[in-house]
Amino acid sequence: MPIREQWRSRWGFVFAAAGSAVGLGNLWGFAYRASEGGGAAFLLLYILIVLVVCLPVLVAEMVLGRSTGSSSLVAPAKAAGSRWGVMGWLFVIAPLGIGSYYAVLMGWTLDTFFHSLFVGLPADKTEAAAFFGSISSGGSVLIGQIISLVLTAIVVVAGVRGGIERLTRWCMPILFILLLGLAFWASTLSGALEGYKALLSWDGSEFFKPSTVRNAFAQAFFSLSLGIGIMITYASYLGRQNKLPKEAIAVASLDTAVGLLAGLMIFPIMFSFGLNESISESTIGALFIALPAGLGTIGITGRIVAVIFFALAYIAAITSSISLLEVPVSSVMDRLGWNRTKSVIGVTFLLFLLGLPSAFDINFLDKTDKIVGQLLLILGGFLLSIFLGWVIPRKFDEDLSNSNSSLRVRRYLKFMLRWVSPPIIACGFIVSLIDLFQNWSS
């Protein structure tokens, strides 16, 4: 067995994990879902889910990776015997599922970036919709998808330290600075206040609406890259010294901060340019139609903002897509004993094939996102909670105590994983499932 790679530094791991978390889901998904689910009620629910449910599961996922030193496919069986091997498959299927369409979304982002930079922005919404139609079909969608997969593969081939850690260490600070700049610019727009009010408007009845609950759960799990095996894989490259509860708090805070900042940027833009209706029209198309159309009305400033926004979105996306590739790659390396390069080539090709239906059919993409990106992740979170809380609680405790986490923290986490997270996630899963199918059948 070759020696397992390790992160160079504590921040290497935190940035890589946060890089996976911060992605297209934060930059667009957050604002879109907030607008669908009634602003502040969604916001509060989302933050509560992150704090109460996701944080313990995040630590659990990391502990499983570090304590077994294995990829997500192998880790459950290694920790609790071969009966649990099936669970490992979930943590390979889910990243393959998301990875397949994520590259398509990245392709659209890249196209829109180049178009804003070299050609300009559309004059109105009709022109924007026509442009989106052209980049989301035919040859250009394939080119964007292939370029994104190849770039992702290049980083992952370079390895944990030489590729993933090196890239995310640069990208994350740049992303933060750009986003802060854009949020500040958006605050100077005429409709900024109205936008903030909409984001923060309180309507108590929204809190219990099934679609708000589904959106909040989906946003929390998808945005944190939780329940999918990424944190298992990334933590398997960790040494003993990291205090995982602290790392989990750092990752969740960075991720939530980026989601909030993106909301504080997008809402003012939408309200200033009278696009508030189109923000929640669809998960996917709205970003690529409404934003360029809105920014197109203010000349060169709008064009600069569009270029920065889509560059930023692409940077955020690539630090997420490398994590989506790394999970199956490390599983193939562990399971089949292939070397990194061969595994990356094999899995990238598979992702390309799996992504073809999404590339040519937005409805397929949307459905895959809802089934894999929402339901499977929530299910994964539930299983992890049960697994670490009930099946291997001693290993969980041992791992944390070896890295000097205090008894109080360990007790708290164990209590949450056993008694609090499972019932809440189970309710969230059932509500989401019913809401989704009701939406589809209506």
Q: How far is the CB of 204 from ligand PFF (least distance, A)?
A: 28
CB 7 within 8 A of CB 166: no
Residue 219 contacts ligand PFF per CB under 6 A: no
Which C-beta is closer to ligand PFF: that of 233 or that of 272? Answer: 233
Phi first, then psi: give them for residue 81, nearest 5 degrees.
95, 165
- Quote the CA–CA distance of 148 and 144 in Å, as a whole number: 6
Cβ at position 217, least distance to ligand PFF in Å: 14
- In angstroms, give the least distance from the CB of 299 to ligand PFF: 31
Does residue 225 interact with ligand PFF by CB under 6 A? yes
Restricted to residues 112-141, the positions that interact with ligand PFF (CB under 6 A) are none
- The minimum distance between CB 90 and ligand PFF, in angstroms, equals 12
| Other CB atoms within 10 Å distance of the CB of residue 159 | 17
Among 222, 234, 288, 309, binds ligand PFF (CB under 6 A): 222
Closest by CA position to 314, among listed 141, 16, 103, 31: 103
- Residue closer to ligand PFF by CB (options 283, 320) is 320
Told to check if 21 binds ligand PFF by CB under 6 A, we report yes
Name which of residues 384 to 423 contact ligand PFF (CB under 6 A): none
Nearer Cβ to ligand PFF, position 136 or 374?
374
In whole angstroms, what is the distance from residue 38 CA to residue 186 CA? 21
Tokens representing 191?
Answer: 């409709």
Tell me the closest approach of the beta carbon of residue 285 to ligand PFF, in angstroms: 17
Q: Which of 143, 168, 153 is nearest to 351 (CA)?
A: 153
Cβ at position 216, least distance to ligand PFF in Å: 14
- The two tokens of residue 345 are 């080539």
Task: Say whether residue 95 binds ligand PFF (CB under 6 A).
Answer: yes
Q: How far is the CB of 124 from ligand PFF (least distance, A)?
A: 29
329 binds ligand PFF per the rule CB under 6 A: no
What is the full DSSP assignment across 76-104? HHHHH-GGGHHHHHHHHHHHHHHHHHHHH
CA–CA gap between residue 96 and residue 99 (Å, rounded): 5
- Which of 151, 85, 170, 76 is CA-nearest to residue 344? 151
Report the sign of the C-alpha dihedral through residues 138, 102, 370, 294, in that order: negative
Helix runs in 22-137, H state only:
24, 30-36, 40-48, 55-68, 75-80, 85-114, 125-135
Closest to ligand PFF by CB, 263 or 296: 263
Give the shortest CB-300-to-ligand PFF separation in angstroms.
30
At which residue do the structure tokens 């960790």 appear? 238
Q: How far apart are CA 431 and CA 442, in angstroms?
A: 16
Based on CB atoms, which residue is closest to ligand PFF, 236 or 403?
236
Scanning residues 23 to 62, which ones bind ligand PFF (CB under 6 A)? 23-26
Pick the binder of ligand PFF from 62, 289, 293, 324 (CB under 6 A): 324
Residue 368 touches ligand PFF, criterion: CB under 6 A: no
User: What residues line the site for ligand PFF (CB under 6 A)?
Assistant: 20-21, 23-26, 95, 98, 222-223, 225, 228, 230, 320, 323-324
